[in-house]
Structure 1
Amino acid sequence: MATPIIWPQNDGQPVSCVEKLKMLEENWQEVQDVLRDAFEDAILMGVSEQVMRDRLAELVAGLVSPHQGRDA
């Protein structure tokens, strides 16, 4: 999956800082690599492909925002 072209902020405006975009691209690639490796390993060890997809989706859905608990 290609790195998203636009990373929208809460106000809808795209992130435009070159350093932030570089970090987002690096993080995106790293996450893809780790998830792909974990997915492939699980499948090779006999885990159901759909179960692994579901578990990975649950992992993402369960991520806690660093802003949670802060006064907005």
Structure 2
Amino acid sequence: MSLDPPATWPGADGAPLSCREKLKVLAENHREAAQVLRDAFEDAVLMGVDETAMRKVLADLVAALPSPKRP
């Protein structure tokens, strides 16, 4: 698994996004999120949390994010 951003970002229609500004924001958001997740994961594991359990906690957190498109 890589912490690098994806090579392409699929749009809602399935076509890759091409707007440079959007790609720049997405890459920056990816870098920031990866750093925060890495730090939280490392802290938890170093404090004795099971690695597999912490990965599940983080995955569940992402899965529970509400869609900004929902009313």
* TM-score, scaled to structure 2: 0.93
How many Å apart are 1:28 and its aligned residue? 0.3
Larger RCO (CA under 8 A, 6+ residues apart): 2
Q: 2:32 aligns with which of 30, 45, 60?
A: 30
Match of 2:61 in 1: 59
> Partner of 2:37: helix, strand, or coil?
helix
Q: 1:68 aligns with which of 40, 55, 70?
A: 70
State the alpha-carbon separation in 2 of the partners of residues 58 and 68 from structure 1.
19
How many Å apart are 1:67 and its aligned residue? 0.2
How many Å apart are 1:13 and its aligned residue? 1.1
Match of 1:9 in 2: 11
Percent of matched pairs sharing the same residue: 58
State the alpha-carbon separation in 1 of the partners of residues 4 and 39 from structure 2.
17
How much is the aligned-residue C-alpha RMSD, in angstroms?
0.6
